[in-house]
Structure 1
């Protein structure tokens, strides 16, 4: 093992099962605030990344982020479907 890896303190979490769901019990310093009820989950290689899901999107919209001019330019326009009710 490389010497620079030995100096990095690593915390661990316990992985278990609750019925058919896998659970992870995290140390206190890694836990989400009690206000967080849902997280987004994604995989990066072998890592699993959890990000709090916002309950209020106003912060996102306040950033001023907008789609680029060519956003969905490749999207195929489908004909309007005639329906009878």
Structure 2
């Protein structure tokens, strides 16, 4: 297991990430899981949308869907 140094940057804490753990991009998402902090590269909004759309199978909504009845305009 590797260790990293924690240091101060203004009023915040910062961690110097070793070279072998470098991430793409300029921002990360951070989440606390118990005593652990999890960092993951922040995805651009369009790439996460495209990725989620690719999860649909070819037969998605093959039988269509029930549309609500149209009301007559007054």
Q: Does 1:37 align with 2:26?
A: yes
Aligned-partner Cα distance in 2 for 1:52–1:60: 17
Cα distance in structure 1, aligned partners of 2:19 and 2:5: 12
Do structure 1's residue 62 and structure 2's residue 51 form an aligned pair? no
Q: Which residue of 2 aligns with 1:52?
A: 41
TM-score, normalised with respect to structure 1: 0.56
Unaligned runs of 5+ in 2: 57-74
What is the count of residue pairs matched by the alignment? 53
Task: List gaps (5 residues or longer) in structure 1.
Answer: 1-9, 65-85
How far apart are residue 60 of structure 1 and its match? 2.7
Segments of 4+ in structure 1 off by > 3 A?
Answer: none
Partner residue of 2:16 out of 6, 11, 25: 25
Measured on the aligned residues, the alpha-carbon RMSD in Å equals: 1.2
Mapped pair 1:15 → 2:6: yes
